[in-house]
Structure 1
Amino acid sequence: MKQKIRKELIEWIVLITVVGVIYLGGWHTEVLGRMQQVVLSTGLIKPTLLAEERKASYNFWLEDLKGNRIEFTEFSNEVVFMNFWATWCPPCVAEMPDIYDLYQKQKDQVSFVMISLDQDEAKARRFIDRKGFEFPVYFLRSSLPTTYDTHSIPTTYVLSKGGTIKVENHGMAKYNTDSFNKLLTDLFESQ
Structure 2
Amino acid sequence: MNKDKFSIKNIPGWVVMLAVFGVLYLTGLHTEGIGQVQRLLLAAGIKNADVPEQLTAPDESSDMASGEMVGAGFQMVGLDGKTVSFESLRGKVVFMNIWATWCPPCVAEMPNIQSLYEKVGSDKIAFVMLSVDEAVMEKVKKFINKKGYTFPVYMPASQFPKEFYSNSIPTTFIISPEGKIVAKQEGMADYDTKEVQDFLQSIVNK
More displaced stretch, 177-186 vs 53-62? 53-62
Q: Name whichever structure is richer in strand by fraction.
A: 1
Contact 1:37–1:95, Cα closer than 8 Å, also in 2: yes
What is the root-mean-square deviation of aligned Cα atoms in Å? 2.3
1:133 aligns with 2:135: no
Structure 2 counterpart of 1:43: 45
User: Cα offset for 1:101?
Assistant: 0.4
More displaced stretch, 108-117 vs 146-155? 146-155
Q: What does 1:19-98 align with in structure 2 at a 5 Å threshold?
A: 19-49=21-51, 55=64, 56-98=70-112
Larger Rg: 2
Q: Deviations over 1:36-74 (max 9, x none)?
A: 001111222132336976733332110001111111111
- How many residue pairs get aligned? The number is 189
1:185 aligns with 2:187: no
User: Cα offset for 1:21?
Assistant: 1.6
Contact 2:51–2:195, Cα closer than 8 Å, also in 1: no
* Structure 1, gaps ≥5 residues long: none
Amino acid at match of 1:119: E
**TM-score, normalising length: structure 2:** 0.83
SS at match of 2:184: strand
User: Cα offset for 1:17?
Assistant: 3.0
Structure 2 counterpart of 1:153: 169
User: Cα offset for 1:12?
Assistant: 5.0
Question: Identity of counterpart residues, as a percentage?
Answer: 38
Amino acid at match of 2:25: Y
Contact 1:154–1:171, Cα closer than 8 Å, also in 2: yes
Amino acid at match of 1:117: V
Q: What does 1:156-175 align with in structure 2 at a 5 Å threshold?
A: 156-175=172-191
Q: Name whichever structure is richer in helix by fraction.
A: 1
Contact 2:51–2:199, Cα closer than 8 Å, also in 1: no
**TM-score, normalising length: structure 1:** 0.89
* Structure 2, gaps ≥5 residues long: 65-69
